[in-house]
Amino acid sequence: MTVADVKKSVEQKMLKSIESFKVDLAKIRTGRAHTGLLDHVQVDYYGSMVPISQVANVTLVDGRTIGVQPWEKKMVAVVEKAIREADLGLNPATQGDLIRVPMPALTEERRRELMKLVKSEAEGAKVAVRNLRRDANEALKKLVKDKDASEDDERRAGDDVQKLTDKFVAEIDKLVQTKEAEIMTV
């Protein structure tokens, strides 16, 4: 392994951490409806648990309502039950073979709770990025110890890893600000 390999590896891992954080943020609901809220809802489909998108068409009816249309008529009740039990605070209503999922308005207290959740998720992502920095620095020290790299190379690479860390932490902060504005918009 070379110094360049260490830098490339840590950058890829940090990018994955950011992507994971974005997925976690998408699960936190705001006042508006979006189909991504139901992405992780699992439905019992003939004995196996599958994502809701594999048994139904998930669309936006309007800004505050998600429409779920199961492809099989007998799946309507099962899908509705799965949404209700997903602990998202949603109360679906069936109209024929269409399940309407209205988004309840967020109270001020709930908005504050969501902000705390967003900040704790952000802190987790920052810790992951910092742990990757630590691992990269240890790998660089090992290269110097094994005489595969010079101390100057290690110092330069360490500075580059620190710059990457700062860049990704700033990206996390930016994502948090965006989500904060989204949640606090009434």
Task: Please give the pLDDT value at position 31.
Answer: 66
Per-residue pLDDT of the chain (186 residues; tens, 9 = 90+): 788 888 889 999 999 999 998 888 877 766 677 777 787 888 888 888 888 888 889 888 887 888 999 998 888 888 888 888 887 778 888 888 888 888 877 788 888 888 888 899 899 999 999 999 999 999 888 888 888 888 888 899 889 999 999 999 999 999 999 988 888 776
Q: How distant, in Å, are the alpha carbons of 33, 53, 93, 140 from that of 152?
A: 53, 52, 65, 11
Residue 49 confidence (pLDDT)? 87
Q: What is the pLDDT of residue 97?
A: 85
CA dist list (Å): 120 to 6, 33, 170, 183 = 29, 23, 16, 15
Name the segment(s) of the chain with CATH classification 1.10.132.20: 3-27+107-184
What pLDDT was estimated at residue 75? 86
Bridge partners, residue 93, by sequence: 100
Select from 62, 79, 82, 61 the least CA-distant residue to 70. Answer: 79
Domain with CATH 3.30.1360.40 in the chain: 35-102
**Residue 170, burial from CB neighbour count under 10 angstroms (0-12, 13-18, 19+):** exposed
What single letter denotes the amino acid at residue 143?
Answer: L
In 3D space, the residue among 33, 54, 29, 34 whose CA is nearest the CA of residue 43 turns out to be 54
Q: What CATH number belongs to 3-27+107-184?
A: 1.10.132.20
Question: What span, in angstroms and rounded, lies between the C-alpha atoms of 180 and 174?
Answer: 10
> 58: which strand partners?
68
Query: Which residue's entry shows tokens 């967020």?
Result: 106
| 135 alpha-carbon distance from chain centroid | 23
Tally the C-alpha atoms within 13 A of residue 25's C-alpha that lie toward its C-beta.
25
Supply the pLDDT for residue 29: 67
Domain 35-102 -> CATH class: alpha beta
